[in-house]
Amino acid sequence: MSVRYAVPPPPVVSLPILGSDERFPVHRIFCVGRNYAEHAREMGYNPEREAPFFFMKAANCIVADGGAFPYPEHTQDVHHEIELVVALKTGGRDIAEAAARDNIFGYAVGLDMTRRDIQSEAKRMARPWDAAKAFDHAAPCSAVRPAREIGHPESGSIWLDVNGASRQRGDLKELIWKVPEIIAHLSALFTLAPGDLIFTGTPAGVAAVKRGDRLSGGVEGIAALEVTVT
């Protein structure tokens, strides 16, 4: 018997897979906060290695590579944050760090777009960040490159240019919490599942964007990402 729904079910959100006609279905988006020391410093925080913390975006925040990022309402200060993205093929609870990579399908490049003024107000009032981080179109993301082709990179440049001018520069080796550690910590808090994405944090240089800006970034050996602010 076919299932009947009271309202139309939402479409499956997916990303292209480099070199394949298949697509990667997106389940949830987890994000790691302050995972590069220099970014922690520029935000006014202690850059020491402390327990990682996480926040989430909805799957429908995804904007496919080459798409448009509509400047959101109710803000005057939207910032870019370029990040390595991990795409999971399997999951589970309490995944051991040594087994973490076995759950990875591949890697991508994403932008954690942030309504910084709303986030600052939420921090001041000790309120959640959802309105600052999980708004529509807040997660532009590149195609996914399978790990079977590139392995599991531990170093490599990560960058973002805005209108051809350099904004963010870093290296994956500067991650405070490495990818296997992130998966181990995250799986202690959530039962991870196929299709989950993990945005692993951004290097220093975050700054405001405006309508008409062209954002171009990438991670060495993985993918590039281009987005236009409309």
The domain limits of the chain are 14-229
Region label for 74, one of left (φ > 0), alpha (ψ between -120 and 50) or beta (otherwise) = left
Fold of domain 14-229: Fumarylacetoacetate hydrolase; domain 2 (3.90.850)
Identify the weakest region by mean pLDDT among 47-51, 117-121, 204-208. Answer: 47-51
What pLDDT, on the 0 to 100 scale, is given for residue 26?
98
> Chain-centre distance of CA 166, in angstroms?
20
Res 177 pLDDT > 90: yes
What pLDDT, on the 0 to 100 scale, is given for residue 35?
92
For residue range 117-137, list pLDDT tens digits in order.
999 999 999 999 999 999 999
What pLDDT, on the 0 to 100 scale, is given for residue 46?
67
For residue range 85-107, list pLDDT tens digits in order.
999 999 999 999 999 999 999 99
Res 44 pLDDT > 70: no
The Cα–Cα gap between 200 and 214 comes to: 23
